[in-house]
């Protein structure tokens, strides 16, 4: 989709979209962006209480030619980039579905302007996304119509940045949306390799033989039940004079059946999405390279398919992770922390300044925080604060959960090995995070994002279409860009 500067001489767009805060609706005479004709119509709609600027509202007014759309942004004092993005994206989505080929976007007040520029690029990139590659596009299939967005507030560089952010998220979503029959660990490796070629990244893949010589016993154990063997993928983005070095680690379970501790069928549904952490790492690597960020970024994807079979690892098995720690398997469905254990060892060996992992790790985190917020755990106050700041800008809500708990700590111990991979039912997200901590190198600032929950959605909302959301990509890019 194109973004173009709007000029008085431009040919008229199909439709007009006006973004207004609640205060703007009370201050129409002073909004210089609106010409007299528009102002009169909007004033009438406001006085009739058809439109009040309420956050997220969208009013369509059919005109002689095309439509006028009014989108509410809520209170001026509460404006931030995430608010504009979450209102603008669904508005453009609706406009594109209502057969408009082009739309002119007008900002009510200058207050909106400072949050608008990057956001428009992002909204334009995200508004038309749906995962429909497997739909046979029959006669009743309606393609998304919107092709062109015009605006007076034209900032090509900022738009381009927004478009990169959108493309990074869509890359992650598109991969995460693929079913288990289409994407297995080897496919993840192929995708990483072609991304590396496209963006000038280094890429190293460890296959099952190499994983054995590298002593990645935990990842191998999780992958042992599947005919699709596991892979550990290491992507590197290296700018010339980086300000620091960050390792991103992603859980890449291409399907989580639970293994021998098989999941009930209703819980197994959607487990194609258990590779979202790894897909997000691919998205962030793509974004970091396209934006030319001044940070060295290592992306480590730990990929396996968790399946039950005669070769699968069993409950009671004792395995050895890369750092030599032994783990008794209590539950084969607690596989994410196992594949992350080896990946966190590999990341720690790089001696980075920071490690951030993303994982659809526990149902418990979703029970605690709901479907719209991810859990954040960190051993470093400064890092946690920076990530929370990035999350505020990105509009991906995070909530910090504790990483220290003397009682839960006791339950990590096994009578016959160093650790056990699952414990009592309550506090499952904390247990998992504390387990991961055992594999993070001494003195490295580390943060863990448990994205089970917001990783996917069964309804369309804000910037999200049905399916995988790539939740975490924006926050990571925002964090990296601020370093
Ligand atoms: N992939 C799941 C967690 C999950 C659940 C993600 C629902 C998204 C939605 C993970 O591997 C898992 O099965 N966790 C178990 C751990 C338990 C066996 C200790 C869980 O949360 O029930
Ligand atoms: Mn599982
Ligand atoms: Zn899982």
**Residues 192-239: pLDDT tens digits?**
999 999 999 999 999 999 999 999 999 999 999 999 999 999 999 999
**Least-confidence region, from 77-81, 344-348, 382-386, 414-418:** 77-81
Mean pLDDT calculated for residue range 34-48? 95
Q: Does residue 153 fall inside a structural domain?
A: no
Query: Is the per-residue pLDDT at 410 higher than 90?
Result: yes
Tokens of 168: 């990074």
* Structural domain count, the chain: 2
- Ligand 1 mutation target, pool 219, 263, 304, 334, most atoms within 8 A of CB: 334
Give the pLDDT confidence of 144-174 residue by residue, as tens digits. 999 999 999 999 999 999 999 999 999 999 9
Contact 322, 232 (CB under 8 A): no
pLDDT of residue 103: 97
Sheet holding 326-328, edge to edge: 318-320, 326-328, 419-420
Kindly report the pTM of this predicted structure.
0.97
The span from the CA of 462 to the CA of 91, in Å, is: 9
Domain region containing 12: 2-146
Query: Dihedral of CA 11/12/15/21: which sign?
Result: positive
Confidence at residue 380, expressed as pLDDT on a 0 to 100 scale: 98
Answer yes or no: do 279 and 180 share one domain.
yes
315 ligand 1 Cβ < 6 A: no
Q: Is the pLDDT of residue 137 over 90?
A: no
What average pLDDT does this structure show over 388-393?
Answer: 96
Judge whether 301 and 203 are in contact, CB under 8 Å: no
Which ligand sits closest to the CA of 452?
1
Does residue 37 form part of some domain? Answer: yes
Task: Say yes or no: 115 and 184 in one domain.
Answer: no
Q: Distance between CA 422 and CA 141 in Å, rounded?
A: 47
pLDDT surpasses 80 at 450: yes
**Domain CATH number, residue 113:** 3.40.220.10
Q: 134 and 50 in one domain?
A: yes
d(CA 277, CA 283): 10
pLDDT-derived band at 13, boundaries 50, 70, 90: confident
Q: Could you list which residues have their CB under 5 Å from ion ligand 3?
A: 253, 256, 274, 336
Pocket test of ligand 1: the residue of 276, 278, 361 to mutate, having most ligand atoms within 8 Å of its CB, is: 361
Query: Same structural domain for residues 170 and 141?
Result: no
- How many angstroms does the Cα of residue 356 sit away from the middle of ligand 1? 20
Q: How many Å lie between the centroid of ligand 1 and the Cα of residue 350?
A: 29
63-67, 145-149, 272-276, 298-302: segment of lowest average pLDDT? 63-67
Nearest-CA residue for atom 5 of ligand 1: 363
Around 381, how many Cα atoms within 13 Å sit in the side-chain half-sphere?
Answer: 0
The span from the CA of 185 to the CA of 325, in Å, is: 25
Beta carbon of 304 within 6 Å of any ligand 1 atom: no
Indicate whether 281 and 408 sit together in one domain. yes
The pLDDT of residue 220 is 98
Report the separation in Å between the CA atom of 335 and the middle of ligand 2, taken as the mean of its atom positions: 5
Active site residue 48: no
Torsion angle defined by CA atoms of residues 21, 26, 29 and 35, in that order, rounded to the nearest 10 degrees: 40
Place of tokens 């990057």: 118
The DSSP string of 213-235 is HTT-HHHHHHHTTSSS--EEEEE
Let me know if 275 is a catalytic residue.
no
Mean pLDDT of the region 102-121: 92
Is the CB–ligand 1 distance for residue 421 below 6 Å? no
Whether 381 has a pLDDT exceeding 90, the answer reads: yes
């Amino acid at each position: 989709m194109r973004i173009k500067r709007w000029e008085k001489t431009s040919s008229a767009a199909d439709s007009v979209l006006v973004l207004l805060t609640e205060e703007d609706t009370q201050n129409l005479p002073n909004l210089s962006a609106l010409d007299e004709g528009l102002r009169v119509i909007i004033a009438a709609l406001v006085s009739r209480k058809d439109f009040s600027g309420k956050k997220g509202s969208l009013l369509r007014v059919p005109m002689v030619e095309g439509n006028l759309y009014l989108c509410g942004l809520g209170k001026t004092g509460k404006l931030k980039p995430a608010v504009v993005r979450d209102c603008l994206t669904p508005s453009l989505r609706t406009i594109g579905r209502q057969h408009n080929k082009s739309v002119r976007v007008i900002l009510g007040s200058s207050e909106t302007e400072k949050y608008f520029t990057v956001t428009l690029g992002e909204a334009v990139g995200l508004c038309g996304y749906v995962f429909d590659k497997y739909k046979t596009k029959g006669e009743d299939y309606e393609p998304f119509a919107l092709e062109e967005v015009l605006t007076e507030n034209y900032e090509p560089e900022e738009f381009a940045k927004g478009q990169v952010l959108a493309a990074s998220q869509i890359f992650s979503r598109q991969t995460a949306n693929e079913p288990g029959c289409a994407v297995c660990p080897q496919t993840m490796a192929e995708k990483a390799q072609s991304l590396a070629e496209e963006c000038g990244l280094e890429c190293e893949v460890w296959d099952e033989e190499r994983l054995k010589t590298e002593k990645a016993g935990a990842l191998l154990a999780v992958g042992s039940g599947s005919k699709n063997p596991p892979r550990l993928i290491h992507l590197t983005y290296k700018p010339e004079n980086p300000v620091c070095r960050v390792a991103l680690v992603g859980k890449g379970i291409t399907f989580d059946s639970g293994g021998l501790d098989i999941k009930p069928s209703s819980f197994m549904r959607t487990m194609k999405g258990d590779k979202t952490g790894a897909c997000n790492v691919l998205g962030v690597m793509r974004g970091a390279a396209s934006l030319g960020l001044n940070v060295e970024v290592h992306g480590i994807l730990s990929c396996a398919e968790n399946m039950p079979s005669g070769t699968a690892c069993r409950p009671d098995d004792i395995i050895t992770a890369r750092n030599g720690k032994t783990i008794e398997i209590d539950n084969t469905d607690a596989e994410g922390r196992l594949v992350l254990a080896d990946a966190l060892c590999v990341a720690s060996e790089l001696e980075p300044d920071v490690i951030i992992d993303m994982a659809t790790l526990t149902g418990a985190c979703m029970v605690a925080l709901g479907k719209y917020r991810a859990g954040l755990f960190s051993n470093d106050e400064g890092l946690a604060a920076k990530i929370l700041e990035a999350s505020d800008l990105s509009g991906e809500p995070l909530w910090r959960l504790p990483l220290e708990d003397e009682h839960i700590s006791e339950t990590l111990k096994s009578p016959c090995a160093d650790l056990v991979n699952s414990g009592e039912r309550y506090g499952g997200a904390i247990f998992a995070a504390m387990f991961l901590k055992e594999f993070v190198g001494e003195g490295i600032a580390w943060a863990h994002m448990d994205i089970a929950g917001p990783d996917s959605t069964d309804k369309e909302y804000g910037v999200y279409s049905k399916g995988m959301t790539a939740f975490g990509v924006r926050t990571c890019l925002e964090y990296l860009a601020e370093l």
